[in-house]
Chains A and B, each alone.
Chain A
């Protein structure tokens, strides 16, 4: 909020303190609503644990995820007959410890989520704000492009993009980010459209704020709530899509311990070694579920309309 009238120091500091208090109050209110949703809290705890696992992977993992124990191919989990205590969840076809691979895989999945959301969110916001703010032909052009992207099933488009860029985790991330981008663009644009005629924007404009400042400093912060919810959704979608690409052999390439890729490698053992199939999928499900729980909580806490219904 720009204030062009000359203000005394005391006024400024008072204002700042007030706005800080207001932010604090907002946060407290947010946390109040968020914590009302028990599922969301559970999701947050699980997610925090996953982050911790990913960060501390080298410390927690009992084995090197790529080391092949040549005398232990396809060892079942320790509680099964023939299991070994050192391989808690068993080993895969070349004798690598599944638990360690899952732990290291958490890094990749979270990385995918973070990277994809960062790319899609940044790109989406910039494009969306430009479209919503500029209106006219720029807007039409951008929105038609988004329509084109949305006309394809996301996974199919991602698959073709990865085929063009070459299989691999980085390229999979780029492809998924491109595919998820239009949702952010649409959301941002819609929010900008509804905000740009509001009083405070008009006021800022009258006060002589430049285009960039208007777009990103004045309008954008007021459209954040739906974007945050969408970002959470995209985070889980990105993990699912990356795993699906890995499963189709177009995502992370072996020996990368990416969960979807592990699942693809395990397919041939489906009837013989259930553990190589079961655990990577379970890891994906738990992660995505935790993030979606958090997403639900965020939506409840941020969306004023649903808040009180």
Chain B
């Protein structure tokens, strides 16, 4: 097991170096002019401009800049946002809980609805229910979520007025951030109604973000179940006269879930990409929106550090999934 783990880690190192290189090179290829941007219509003189770039360290040779970047990573220093003048890592840490909370809620919805729906469809294969579930899943899978979000806003916030349009919690509530997760913090604060308010704010964005993973998980569960249900040992169990519920529960499900776990892991990238759109639509103060804004503001070090951190998180989750997969399915380890 240890060898397996070390092997996986070994694979990650070159990828990680590649990610640092890519994030470093990309922002130096970005056309644009942050100094000019900051000055606006009033303009900036060439001398001032050079001065600003010098302060940001952009006058040094590339190899030196890259070296500084790598050394900084080891010290937990990803540079300073050109706009807010705050350390990139600090900004990320204050915004990431919002994204994580949203993504977690989305994945919980996706798993809690997707897996049962997939199992049900597989068991009732060919029935109207199966067709309805799979049809819906395909629609969800094909959904342009930025449009879906707008539709939900029009309907639930605009017409019905049930849910708030944006933000994480009603402004009435003000309590210290402890975990950064609004659901937990609101409970810790002990303020009446705070938790409910946080839930109401979270519901639409997490539904929007859950849409595609939900569809993928439902489809994957169904086909994995179908495959397993056709295998010999399940047939044997059936032949032995075990009740269908036990067959599904005991034998089929456990084996069917192995590929589903991988699928869930792979959804992390999808979720983070989806978060970019979801956060933009719902004015959700998370890292997705932060990165999009920073790209358009040419806040170079934020884009560089943000890309690195996001890629790092995805790689980490993939590693965890790999290891989990190895744990559930010992056959893999030796390949």
Direct contact between A and B judged by beta carbons closer than 8 A: yes
* Interface presence of A7 (CB below 8 A): no
Question: Which residues of chain A in 263-286 are interfacial with respect to chain B, using CB atoms and an 8 Å cutoff?
Answer: 263, 267, 270-271, 274, 277-278, 280-281, 284-285
Q: Is the beta-carbon distance between B295 and A155 smaller than 8 angstroms?
A: no
Question: Which residues of chain B in 135-173 are interfacial with respect to chain A, using CB atoms and an 8 Å cutoff?
Answer: 135, 138-139, 141-144, 146-148, 150-151, 153-154, 158
CB-nearest residue of chain B to A38: B131
* Interface presence of A293 (CB below 8 A): yes
Q: Is the beta-carbon distance between B147 and A285 smaller than 8 angstroms?
A: yes
B85 to chain A, nearest CB (A): 22
In the complex, number of A-B residue pairs with CB atoms less than 8 Å apart: 128
Q: Is the beta-carbon distance between B151 and A281 smaller than 8 angstroms?
A: yes
Which of B227, B274, B280 is in CB contact (< 8 Å) with A248? B280
Which of A164, A166, A247 is in CB contact (< 8 Å) with B146? A247
Q: Is the beta-carbon distance between B147 and A284 smaller than 8 angstroms?
A: yes
Interface string of A183-220 (1 = CB under 8 A from B): 00000000000000000000000000000000000000
Q: Is the beta-carbon distance between A244 and B138 smaller than 8 angstroms?
A: no
* Interface presence of A134 (CB below 8 A): no
A149 to chain B, nearest CB (A): 8
* Chain B residues whose C-beta falls within 8 Å of the C-beta of A147 in the assembled complex: 11, 15, 18
A301 to chain B, nearest CB (A): 15
Q: Is the beta-carbon distance between B276 and A292 smaller than 8 angstroms?
A: no
Q: Is the beta-carbon distance between A155 and B154 smaller than 8 angstroms?
A: no
* Chain A residues whose C-beta falls within 8 Å of the C-beta of B18 in the assembled complex: 144-145, 147-148, 151
* Chain A residues whose C-beta falls within 8 Å of the C-beta of B29 in the assembled complex: 164
* Chain B residues whose C-beta falls within 8 Å of the C-beta of A93 in the assembled complex: none
Q: A144-B15, A147-B18, A289-B138 are in contact. Are A155 and B146 (CB under 8 A)?
A: no
Q: A159-B295, A270-B153, A293-B138 are in contact. Are A152 and B147 (CB under 8 A)?
A: no
CB-nearest residue of chain B to A278: B151
CB-nearest residue of chain A to B276: A155
* Chain A residues whose C-beta falls within 8 Å of the C-beta of B26 in the assembled complex: 160-161, 164
CB-nearest residue of chain B to A287: B142
* Interface presence of A13 (CB below 8 A): no
Q: A243-B144, A281-B144, A285-B147 are in contact. Are A148 and B138 (CB under 8 A)?
A: no
A271 to chain B, nearest CB (A): 6
How far apart sit A245 and B72, CA to CA, in the bound complex (Å)? 32
Q: Is the beta-carbon distance between B276 and A159 smaller than 8 angstroms?
A: yes
Question: Which residues of chain A in 240-257 are interfacial with respect to chain B, using CB atoms and an 8 Å cutoff?
Answer: 240, 243-244, 247-249
How far apart sit A284 and B277, CA to CA, in the bound complex (Å)? 16
Q: A159-B295, A247-B146, A293-B138 are in contact. Are A151 and B277 (CB under 8 A)?
A: no
* Chain A residues whose C-beta falls within 8 Å of the C-beta of B147 in the assembled complex: 263, 277, 280-281, 284-285
Q: Is the beta-carbon distance between A152 and B295 smaller than 8 angstroms?
A: no
* Interface presence of B291 (CB below 8 A): yes
* Chain B residues whose C-beta falls within 8 Å of the C-beta of A285 in the assembled complex: 139, 142-144, 147
- List 8 A-B residue pairs with CB atoms under 8 Å apart, sorted by A's residue number: A147-B15, A151-B19, A152-B310, A163-B30, A274-B154, A277-B154, A281-B151, A284-B144
- Closest 6 interchain pairs by CB? A281-B147, A153-B273, A148-B18, A155-B273, A288-B142, A289-B142
